[in-house]
Amino acid sequence: MAFEELKERHAAMWGSAPFERVAGTLADMHECVVQTMGGGEGVAWLDVGCGTGELAFMAAATGADITACDLAPNLVETARRQAAERGLEIPFEVGDAEALQYGDASFDIVTSSIGAIFAPNHAAVASELARVCRPGGRLGMTAWTSAEGGVDKFFEIIGSYAPPPPPGAGIPFEWGEPEHCEELLGPFFELEITSHNTPWPFETPDEMWDLMSESFGPIKTLLGVLPPERAAAFKADMFEFLESERTADGIDLDRPYNLIVGRRRS
């Protein structure tokens, strides 16, 4: 499978469910990015892999001039609808992180919150993020990190039931490795990488499953194509994992991530 076909599948998968219902669980991550970047009146800001627009809405509150793009047309349409409901005029556009449609050095700030990490060609993503960022401009990117259990195990279970990626496709969790970021982004940016967590508390596995099976594209898509016995095994594996994360107060799913901040080299 060529990467173009893979990306078409990704766009359909991520756009197959109302992700805005899940995006609220990432609010503190989005706030971390926006507070770190700063923004302000007249600042040209691009958000890549914007999903349903939640980070862009926060960035707009700083007074910055926001442009945002995502590979999935359905997510872009949702972002436009939500922007209109908030009275915001933000150009949300369909765009590929590997081949951005914007001119060289067009933006003072470029961000991507666990969005661009899912593009298969990591080198192309790094090159494009750098190309559209002005000399002296700033990059703010978040990436899931591998850890015992937590979000790493969550995606591992999903991956064990999904078709394998084509040869050569990058793994999203590689962006959570500082060495990988330094190799790809270091030639373009002076980097600072810090570790964070956005825990997700809920009371029962059923609560989480009800939300994710209806509103998280990768899970909803899998459940639509797996035979009944495989779908039941998928759910059972996920419930077993979630029970392993139980505390005295319920289930608290750790979601560790790195914040990758860069200053564009001249």
Q: What is the mean pLDDT of residues 235-251?
A: 92
What mean pLDDT is predicted for residues 71-81?
98
pLDDT reported for residue 150: 84
Residue 92 token pair: 């949300």
Rounded Cα gap, residues 149 and 241, in angstroms: 8
* pLDDT score of 100: 98
Q: Which residues contact 122 (CB under 8 A, 6 or more apart)?
A: 170, 174, 175, 180, 184
**Tokens coding 192:** 């600072």
Between vectors from CA 21 to CA 112 and to CA 260, what angle results, nearest 5°?
20
pLDDT at 1 over 60: no
pLDDT, tens digit (0-9, with 9 covering 90-100), for 18-39: 999 999 999 999 999 999 999 9
Note the pLDDT tens digit of each residue in 110-150.
999 999 999 999 999 999 999 999 999 999 999 999 876 68
148-193 tens-digit pLDDT: 668 999 999 999 999 998 999 999 999 999 999 999 999 999 999 9
Q: Could you tell me what percent of the chain has a pLDDT over 70?
A: 98
Task: Give the CATH number of domain 3-146+164-203+257-264.
Answer: 3.40.50.150
pLDDT, residue 148, reads 63
Q: How far apart, in whole angstroms, are the C-alpha atoms of residue 127 and residue 138?
A: 14
Q: Is the pLDDT of residue 243 over 80?
A: yes
> Cβ distance 217 to 14 under 8 Å?
yes
Instruction: Return the ∠ at Cα 33 (arms to 89 and 65), rounded to 5°.
Output: 25
Q: What is the average pLDDT value for the chain, to the nearest integer?
A: 95
Domain boundaries, the chain: 3-146+164-203+257-264
Q: Which residues contact 114 (CB under 8 A, 6 or more apart)?
A: 26, 29, 49, 142, 143, 144, 257
Two tokens at 47?
């958000």
pTM of the complete model: 0.96
